[in-house]
Amino acid sequence: MKEKMLDFVGKVVFLTGGGGQIGAKTEELFLRQRAKVVSTDIDFPPLDDRVDFDANPLKLALDVTNKQGVQQLISQTVENCGRIDIVVNAAGILNIKPFLEISEQDWDRTFAVNVKGMFFVCQEALKQMIEQKAGCFVNFASISGKVGGVLAGADYSASKAAVICLTKSLAKVGAPHGIRANSVAPGAVYSPMLDLYYRDHAEEMKGFEEKHPLGRFGRADEVASTVLFLASDQASYITGACVDINGGTLMD
């Protein structure tokens, strides 16, 4: 059997949340493996007439909750890059409000970005992948979507549980067309935001990191490398899975 390596030469990757710490690391690893990366984020510069689709990475603004915007950018990507091989949905927002303080607006916004926006991207890219008869998705869930909020609110946790199931549905629909879909469920990852959380909840957080079987939180590159593995031919028989990346703090 031919050895299958992490080889992304000529592959077109469509990434959301590319401006975030994990998204940026994912973009970097794909570029190192010589993929073509269309990296999108709500904070990136807007699409205009001068967009150079030969740029790599190509960084473009996309608000995933804007269905028309998603359709337009995916169609422009296909027009200019010829195909979409891999979609990584890393865009997401976190809400850490206590259960009783979560407003209807909080709930709707969290679900709009984390679930509905992801659905728009998956639905649009799936149409293209069905034509190609190939492709794969890696969607960002969270350990919170399995156990209820760890450092996160109920709206965030529920949205990430929805991501796990959305991805399973996508995997079932895609499988007959040679398309795979998996989610990842990171635990806590070192970040400025985690530092802030520690600062504000020092007492409550005492011993939390040490309780992880591997004795520490995760790094963005450890999450990104799992994404690359799932997107690679080495994972050709993995679909519908939710892969834990949590240092052993949840084993299910």
Ligand X SMILES: NC(=O)c1ccc[n+]([C@@H]2O[C@H](COP(=O)([O-])OP(=O)(O)OC[C@H]3O[C@@H](n4cnc5c(N)ncnc54)[C@H](O)[C@@H]3O)[C@@H](O)[C@H]2O)c1
Q: Does 88 bind ligand X (CB under 6 A)?
A: no
Contact partners, residue 195, CB within 8 Å, separation at least 6: none
Single-letter amino acid, residue 8: F
Instruction: Look at strands 12-16 and 36-41 and give their pairing.
Output: parallel
Nearest approach in angstroms of CB 143 to ligand X is 6
Q: To the nearest whole angstrom, how small is the minimum distance from the Cβ of residue 176 to ligand X? A: 28
The residue from 15, 39, 41, 235 that contacts ligand X (CB under 6 A) is 41
CB closer to ligand X out of 171 and 189: 189
Tokens of 173: 């629909």
Q: How many CB atoms lie within 10 A of CB 5?
A: 10
Q: Which is nearer to ligand X, 16 or 226 (CB)?
A: 16
How far apart are alpha carbons 164 and 161 in whole angstroms? 5
Distance CA 198, CA 102 (A): 21
Using CB under 6 A as the binding rule, whether residue 42 contacts ligand X is answered as yes
**Which residue from 110, 142, 157, 226 is in contact with ligand X, where contact means CB under 6 A?**
142
Q: What order do you get walking across the sheet with 58-61 strand by strand?
A: 58-61, 36-41, 12-16, 86-89, 135-140, 179-186, 242-245
Determine the interface stretch with ligand X among 1-9, 29-37, 181-189, 204-212 (rule: CB under 6 A): 181-189
- Give the nearer residue to ligand X in terms of CB position, either 25 or 180: 25
Q: Does 69 participate in binding ligand X (rule CB under 6 A)?
A: no
Q: Name the residue nearer to ligand X (CB basis): 2 or 68.
A: 68
Does position 91 interact with ligand X (CB under 6 A)? The reply is yes
Catalytic residues: 156
| Residue 69 to residues 41, 52, 66, 152, 159, Cα–Cα distance (Å) | 12, 18, 5, 29, 22
- Least Å distance, CB 15 to ligand X, is 10
**Interface residues toward ligand X, by CB under 6 A:** 16-17, 19-23, 41-43, 62-65, 90-94, 113, 117, 140, 142, 186, 188-189, 191
